[in-house]
Amino acid sequence: MFVTFVEDTPASKHIAWTNMAIIILNMVIALKTINLPGFQEALGHYGFIPVRGLSLGLFTGPFIHSSWAQLLTNMTFLYMFGKGVEQRLGKLNYLMVYGAIALTSELVHWYFNAHSPLPLVGASRVVTGLGVIYLLMYPWGKMKWVFNFFGAPIMEIPSRTLWVMVLWAGVQATIAFMPWARLAFLIHFLSSFGLSLFTLIPTAGTAWHAHLGAVLAGVGLHFLMPQKKGKA
How large is the average pLDDT for residues 53-65? 90
Task: Pick 202 or 100 by higher pLDDT.
Answer: 100
Tell me, what's the pLDDT at 72? Answer: 85
Rounded-to-integer distance, Cα 144 and Cα 165, Å: 13
Identify the residue with better confidence: 27 or 168.
27
The answer to whether residue 232 sits within a structural domain is no
| Inside any domain, residue 81 | yes
**175 in any annotated domain:** yes
- Tell me whether residue 231 is in a domain: no
| pLDDT attached to residue 208 | 81
Alpha carbons within 13 angstroms on the beta-carbon side of residue 216 total 13
pLDDT greater than 90 at residue 164: no
pLDDT per residue over 185-194, tens digit each? 555 555 554 4
For 82-103, what is the mean pLDDT?
93
Q: Which residue has the higher pLDDT, 188 or 80?
A: 80
How many domains are contained in the chain?
A: 1
Q: What is the mean pLDDT of residues 66-75?
A: 84
User: In whole angstroms, how far apart are CA 167 and each of 6, 52, 152?
Assistant: 14, 34, 23
pLDDT digits (tens, 9 = 90+) for 175-216: 655 554 555 555 555 555 444 554 545 555 567 888 889 999
The verdict on residue 123 lying in a domain is yes
Over the range 67-84, which residues count as b (16 or more CB within 10 Å of their CB) and which as e? bbebbebbbbbbbbbbbb
For residues 80 and 222, the model is more confident at 222
pLDDT digit string (tens) for 7-48?
A: 555 445 678 899 999 999 999 999 999 888 888 889 889 999
Range of the domain at 78: 2-224
Is residue 75 situated within a structural domain?
yes
Q: Residue 43 forms beta bridges with which residues?
A: none
CATH assignment of the domain containing 17: 1.20.1540.10
Does 90 map to a domain?
yes
Give Cα 45 to chain centroid, integer Å.
20
Give the confidence band of 80 by pLDDT, cuts at 50, 70, 90: confident
In a domain, 230, yes or no: no
**Which residue type occupies 94?**
Y
